[in-house]
Chains A and B, each alone.
Chain A
Amino acid sequence: MAIAETPGHHSRIVQLSKSPTGIDGFDQVAGGGLPAGRPTLVCGGAGCGKTLFAISFLVHGATRFDEPGVFMSFEESGDELAQNVASLGFDLPGLVEKKKLVLDHVKIERREIEETGDYDLEGLFVRLGYAIDSIGARRVVLDTIESLFAGLANQSILRAELRRLFRWLKDRGVTAMITGERGEGTLTRQGLEEYVSDAVIVLDHRVTEQISTRRLRIVKYRGSAHGTNEYPFLIDEDGLSVLPVTSIGLTHDASSERISTGVARLDMMLGGRGYFRGSTILVSGTAGAGKSSLAAHFLDAACRRGERCLAFVFEESPQQVVRNMRSIGIDLQRWVERGLLEFHAARPSLHGLEMHLSRMHRAIDRFQPSVVVLDPVSSLLRVAQPTDVQATLTRLVDYLKLQGITALLTSLTHGRTEHEQTDVAISSIVDTWLLLIALELSGERNRGLYVLKSRGMDHSNQIREFLLTDRGVELVDVYAGPSGVLTGSARLTQEAQERAAALAQEHELERKERTLTRLRAAFEAELASLRAKFEAEQADLAIEIDEHRSRATRLRADQHDIAESRGGDATSDNGRNTRVRD
């Protein structure tokens, strides 16, 4: 790796070698890391996280990639630095002791320095070179070299020497990170981007409506493909992480596996088998429509299958959710205790949107759930513009889909308009959209549910009445007749009427059947008597026929006898033939 530089005529075919920073998400955005063996400029305003970014790069290099590093600080002393990053679990003194890290604090006091003629910064080069050689460093950080401009008067020497320094760093083949303060109209106050042209990263920390968000952007990365968006990044107890969520494309697999919604009747409505695994479901409805209950059913069903679930709740505490769901017969607490279900509760106004997204990402990465619930996403509108919420949710949904995680989002709609803006905004990214509506009829307000859309499956187009019972959610058919959809007591009345009508019909049927039986019996009787009469007459006739026949035979025999007795010739042919034959 000593020669990570690729000669100009090779750069088109030889992939730029990368030096991973080990910073979650950043390497993904930067296509593997920083350009190996080249300097990278990291700039941003005060408190934007430059130093932390740089120190993470070094510490990860030393601990994970076997690349020792030199941290040359022009601002903080080694001790101050060590203290500042100790809370992130970085043990700088330990690394120094193991010869994995050199901390060199370059102190410049303008008051102590008198400039008396020509000079160069060879002292700095010697110092840096010595530090690099002493541990065989592969990485170097200069934080913040612009401080030199305050310490030294001769700017032209300084600029010439900085130019020489960056070339020297390249020649040494170390992967260097130079930090710079954001300037007015320029990336850095002293225009360092002029010298460091391989890669430039801008960090930003802005506060909008009292909510702070950190963002990172790769402004330039010569010879490498990289994400160009602004990525939110996060500094917390686990260090720094960048969320490359926008880099996700539509490349996720679509599972054809189906999982239960937790409500048997709803499964039936969705082609009989529930949601697609890895799909995104939006449940929207007015306050108290039962969105959370539907979500709880889904969580409960997933936990019953032994799957891990993560629930982000923005309006209630986990205890509140557990208690409320117990009232409809769903015991979520046991899943929490078994470690299958984890709640993350945060007030929407606690963080900016990006921070919410970041935290959700982290939690998802850590917990590796197969089901995620966000309840309700509409509350994020309180901290950001609808377009931002839409963008954030799109990124989150893309990410979840990529991970094959099934997500259920709930959304609160207000008043009588069924389709709120957020719903419309995010509806295009959801696969299944369930709408919980209030059905107001004859002085009652009842809940109705229907499937507004469900991609890739045959689904019911029927509105079902949605009941919250102490055994959970039940869906029942609504009465749809000429007078419209009937729910609640109107439905009950209608059902009673239908039952009465059905009963009457049943009676009528029985009566008819009885008549038929009677008729059949009569018919059978008549048939029997007819047959008896017929048989009697048949017998009489048969006797008569016999008598007639025997009488005829006797007559013929008598005539023959008479003829013989006369002794006459057989004059008739008949007589002769008979005789000859005999």
Chain B
Amino acid sequence: MAVPSAETQILRLYIAGQTPRSIKAFANLKKICEDHLIGKYQIEVIDLIQNPQLAAGDQILAVPTLVRRLPEPVRRIIGDLSHTDRVLVGLDIRPAS
């Protein structure tokens, strides 16, 4: 993957174990990124079951939670990312209608 530019979205997907919902969320995210952010995104998946200490840092409550760390402002998108439109709004790719 390319060196992150100013437009690169740094994304973290928090999950809790390999549950069907986690897998679904990751698949949805991957698809959205491929459709709208080709070459302009990085995804880091954090499994809280393995790294529980990371939950507090990003104020994780619900899983799955997608955190857009960059660009500012930080955005939190919770749920399995099945509502594509909402995800796009959350990532500022599409203005809220």
Is there an interface contact between B48 and A116, defined as CB atoms closer than 8 Å? no
B63's contact among A107, A114, A120, by CB below 8 Å, is which?
Answer: A120
Is there an interface contact between A116 and B63, defined as CB atoms closer than 8 Å? no
Does A573 reach chain B (CB closer than 8 Å)?
no
In A110-158, which residues have CB < 8 Å from any B CB? 112-127, 129-131, 148, 151-152
A114's contact among B14, B59, B78, by CB below 8 Å, is which?
Answer: B78
Does A106 reach chain B (CB closer than 8 Å)?
yes
Is there an interface contact between A117 and B16, defined as CB atoms closer than 8 Å? no
Task: List residues of chain A with CB within 8 A of the CB of B52.
Answer: 126-127, 129-130
How would residues 167 to 204 of chain A score, 1 for a CB under 8 Å from any chain B CB and 0 otherwise? Answer: 00000000000000000000000000000000000000
The smallest C-beta distance from A70 to any residue of chain B, in angstroms, reads 12
Query: If the complex has contacts A122-B63, A123-B16, are A114 and B77 also in contact, measured as CB distance less than 8 A?
Result: yes
Task: List residues of chain A with CB within 8 A of the CB of B14.
Answer: 123
Is there an interface contact between B61 and A106, defined as CB atoms closer than 8 Å? yes
The smallest C-beta distance from A559 to any residue of chain B, in angstroms, reads 166
Is there an interface contact between B86 and A116, defined as CB atoms closer than 8 Å? yes
Query: If the complex has contacts A104-B56, A127-B56, are A121 and B62 also in contact, measured as CB distance less than 8 A?
Result: yes
Does A88 reach chain B (CB closer than 8 Å)?
no
Does B74 reach chain A (CB closer than 8 Å)?
yes
Task: List residues of chain B with CB within 8 A of the CB of A355.
Answer: none
Task: List residues of chain A with CB within 8 A of the CB of B65.
Answer: 119, 123
Task: List residues of chain B with CB within 8 A of the CB of A127.
Answer: 52, 55-56, 60-61
Does B79 reach chain A (CB closer than 8 Å)?
yes
A116's contact among B16, B53, B73, B82, by CB below 8 Å, is which?
Answer: B82
Task: List residues of chain B with CB within 8 A of the CB of A104.
Answer: 56
Is there an interface contact between A118 and B21, defined as CB atoms closer than 8 Å? yes
The smallest C-beta distance from B49 to any residue of chain A, in angstroms, reads 7
Is there an interface contact between A106 and B59, defined as CB atoms closer than 8 Å? yes
Task: List residues of chain A with CB within 8 A of the CB of B79.
Answer: 115-119
Query: If the complex has contacts A116-B77, A116-B79, A117-B81, are A107 and B59 also in contact, measured as CB distance less than 8 A?
Result: yes
Docked complex Cα distance between A245 and B55 (Å): 46
The smallest C-beta distance from B87 to any residue of chain A, in angstroms, reads 5
Task: List residues of chain B with CB within 8 A of the CB of A152.
Answer: 61-62, 78
Is there an interface contact between B49 and A126, defined as CB atoms closer than 8 Å? yes
Docked complex Cα distance between A114 and B67 (Å): 10
Is there an interface contact between B75 and A119, defined as CB atoms closer than 8 Å? no
Of all chain A residues, the one with the shortest Cβ separation from B25 is: A117
Point out which of A106, A125, A126, A152 has the most chain B C-beta atoms below 10 A from its C-beta: A126
Of all chain B residues, the one with the shortest Cβ separation from A108 is: B61
Is there an interface contact between A130 and B55, defined as CB atoms closer than 8 Å? yes
What are the nearest 5 A-B pairs in CB distance? A117-B79, A114-B90, A130-B52, A117-B82, A123-B60
Interface residues of B (CB under 8 A from A): 14, 16, 21, 25, 28, 48-49, 52-53, 55-56, 59-65, 73-83, 86-87, 89-90
Interface residues of A (CB under 8 A from B): 104, 106-108, 112-127, 129-131, 148, 151-152
Cross-chain pairs A/B with CB under 8 angstroms, 5 sampled? A106-B61, A112-B73, A115-B78, A123-B63, A131-B56
Q: 13 extra interchain contacts, Cβ-Cβ under 8 A, other than A129-B52, A130-B56?
A: A104-B56, A108-B59, A112-B75, A114-B90, A115-B77, A115-B79, A116-B86, A119-B21, A119-B62, A121-B63, A122-B16, A123-B60, A124-B61
